[in-house]
Amino acid sequence: MTSADASDARDRDTEGRARNARPRDGLGRPLPYGAQGVPRQPEGVVRTPDQTVAEAQGLLDAGRPFHAHEVFEDAWKAGPEDERTLWRGLAQLAVGLTHAARGNDVGGARLLRRGAGALREWVVGRGEDRPYGMDLPGLARWAERLAERVERGAGPVDAVAEAPRLGRRVA
């Protein structure tokens, strides 16, 4: 088997990076080839911060936190260096919710706490707690409360019911 054949068999591009062509469900779990998955988020899309927040909120509201994490990851990678902590933290919150909804209590809680810490770091470093209309202290509190619940073994969470509101006080 040539290296090109091995790349094709493993869903890799010519540089060996994952192409992610396999269909996925709303929580980003791989489905069998040929199964009907949810629409994928295109990677590497450059959006304005307001577009990022709006698109991610729509995905969170639809119970698709894995896909919201990909939107935040685009902003993290393509945005200005001084905003990377903000977008990384939001991506971590979304993927933390993903893991919690999948029943991965340890990973979910860890990522929710890591994301909350990044948002707090942003606020302390900037003195700005509502960039792009988002309530960062409220989001950090939401993440900490959810992390505590999943650590207590509350079981898989409902990604729709637990989705945070990015643009208003989340208490």
Predicted local confidence at residue 106, as pLDDT:
94
Q: 10 and 94: one domain?
A: no
pLDDT single digits (tens) 47-92 = 999 999 999 999 999 999 999 999 999 999 998 999 999 999 999 9
Q: 57 and 89: one domain?
A: yes
- State how far the Cα of 67 lies from the Cα of 65, in Å rounded to an integer: 5
Q: How many domains does the chain have?
A: 2
In 10 A of CB 62, how many CB atoms?
15
- Domain with 100, as residue range(s), is 49-151
In a domain, 165, yes or no: no
Q: Which range among 15-24, 98-107, 151-160 shows the weakest confidence by mean pLDDT?
A: 15-24
Asked if residue 100 has pLDDT above 90, the reply is: yes
Asked if residue 114 has pLDDT above 90, the reply is: yes
Q: 33 and 108: one domain?
A: no
CATH code of the domain covering residue 129 = 1.10.3450.10
CA dihedral 119, 123, 125, 131 (to 10 degrees): 90
Q: 33 and 58: one domain?
A: no
Alpha helices in the chain (DSSP H): 3-9, 49-61, 65-78, 84-102, 105-126, 136-151
Closest CA to 66 of 111, 25, 22, 36: 25
Predicted local confidence at residue 59, as pLDDT:
96
Q: 108 and 79: one domain?
A: yes
Q: 61 and 145: one domain?
A: yes
Q: 36 and 84: one domain?
A: no
Q: 85 and 18: one domain?
A: no
Q: 7 and 79: one domain?
A: no
Asked if residue 8 has pLDDT above 50, the reply is: no
